[in-house]
Structure 1
């Protein structure tokens, strides 16, 4: 069997499994379906996908002295959070109502309100912490028109309905690429608000320390903030002790200096939250890549 055919079969099978689990879970009340899918991803899908090993490798790379008991906890807690996040996103308007019921705190809220009054663009920069889309869901429900930049999934079958799901939370959505960037620029020039994730490996970016190790990091977010005079606000939605609610934080805006300094400042904000709440960051990603680090 050719490599491309095997990959197609794998993509189709994975997509079918994900859609089946999410579809069945949606028959349950919201408060049950979210933890159920979290459990399924942590106990079934994650191990099949090799996630515990990847979590362990990433932790060993940046936190080699972490006690084994904590490593074991994170190999279960991280996939659980990923599963909860996925189910929440696929819950559409129920998720929006739930996210809207959580309060927002932090000095970034006043900065966002002032920028809106001034007709100034805003970039809400976030990471795969807690549920990153809870911020967008809350603000859209509160009347803030908010676009988002997304990266196309490797699995084209999954990507199709995933884009529909995230679009339910709010539009416009800008796909990473030339056309999407043109639409995004028009949005910012019109004083729009944009949400963007910044913690994926970007091999065309710069090597910047993240959790004490060099990681390829995109400078584009900071460059756009400077070019279009957008207020750059780190925004996060951390999962609370119930596993269903969120602590939504709009932090102090990142001062406009230069792209490298601003990106380092963003990394430091994300890093502080990861150290404080390691179970809520997506350690399943291949964040550290390149010849300086073996692939996890």
Structure 2
């Protein structure tokens, strides 16, 4: 992203949300038409995950997905420059009292946040309620974007963003000091620290960190899902009840449970999952590549 692009985002963030949302949806449809490599990735993912749908149904779902992606991109200006008061109106948070109750009891907390298109908006809203720890992937190829992403994730409160290469020690220490861990473990990061477990019936390389971190930190796992609402209605962050019987001694079973839960959430709003990511990029030995 260039400085000109940042300037466009700054101008757009002044628009009423209903107008900005519509502009974002139109932008998303343009991406569907012209961003051919990403559209191919989305269509491949949808074919793998929804084999019972017709091609026409998957194309319709893809268009809805790109509309949401376009919204999330253009509404990012609100994350970077929107006032606290405006963001509190736009993004409602439900279940924050569950986190506070665990904190009061001295329990570490992991917020399991899958990659839905409203993730950044939801993450910023969480930082307005809690001082958290999160993993930050530096955008080395785009320092302008890197600067603003970091700004948006740290502008409220006292947030701790750790680089991925710093490992788990700092994360566990932060959790034990009372910071909830905003954790996004549902992308294909390669074979390192990953096992193959099903996601929509397809073997997916999935990191096992949720089970391992919950055990090491003695943490409760609370699902944290951000839903993008239609038009100018904004977003809602839903923090659910802590998972029972987690973690277990079986890391693979725990990781399967995580993927099964994410799949169940995706089915409630399939157009909002981050299908532009090559989720099935890493394959078991001997299997052909999908992309």
Shorter-chain TM-score bucket reads 0.7 to 0.9
Q: Deviation per CA, 1:224-265: give whole Å up to 9, x if none.
A: 111010111111011223364223322232322133222221
For structure 2, list consecutive stretches of 5 or more residues without a partner in the other structure.
none
Q: How many residues align?
A: 279
Asked if the contact 2:116–2:273 (Cα under 8 Å) also holds between the matched residues in 1, the reply is yes
**Separation (CA, whole Å) in 2 of partners of 1:140 and 1:239:** 18
Deviation at 1:21, TM superposition (A): 4.0
**Separation (CA, whole Å) in 1 of partners of 2:232 and 2:203:** 32
Task: Give secondary structure in 1 for the equivalent of 2:82.
Answer: helix
Deviation at 1:136, TM superposition (A): 3.2
Partner of 2:252: 260
Task: Give secondary structure in 2 for the equivalent of 1:91.
Answer: helix
Task: Give secondary structure in 2 for the equivalent of 1:122.
Answer: strand
Matched, 1:226 2:232: no
User: Are the structure 2 counterparts of residues 200 and 244 from structure 1 closer, same or farther at C-alpha, using a change threshold of 3 Å?
Assistant: farther
Superposition CA RMSD, Å: 2.6
Runs of 4+ aligned residues of structure 1 deviating over 6 Å after TM superposition are: none
Asked if the contact 1:145–1:193 (Cα under 8 Å) also holds between the matched residues in 2, the reply is yes
TM-score, normalization by structure 2? 0.84
Asked if the contact 2:122–2:236 (Cα under 8 Å) also holds between the matched residues in 1, the reply is no
Q: Find the partner of 2:105 among 112, 115, 118.
A: 118
Asked if the contact 1:22–1:37 (Cα under 8 Å) also holds between the matched residues in 2, the reply is no
**Separation (CA, whole Å) in 1 of partners of 2:2 and 2:36:** 13
Partner of 2:188: 201
For structure 1, list consecutive stretches of 5 or more residues without a partner in the other structure.
1-13
**Separation (CA, whole Å) in 2 of partners of 1:73 and 1:169:** 38
Residues 178-217 of structure 1 aligned to structure 2 (within 5 Å):
178=166, 181-203=168-190, 204=192, 205-217=194-206
Deviation at 1:270, TM superposition (A): 0.9
TM-score, normalization by structure 1? 0.82
- Greater Cα shift, 213-222 or 126-135: 126-135
Q: Deviation per CA, 1:193-249: give whole Å up to 9, x if none.
A: 110112110221111111110111111122111101011111101122336422332
Deviation at 1:22, TM superposition (A): 2.0
User: Are the structure 2 counterparts of residues 243 and 26 from structure 1 closer, same or farther at C-alpha, using a change threshold of 3 Å?
Assistant: closer
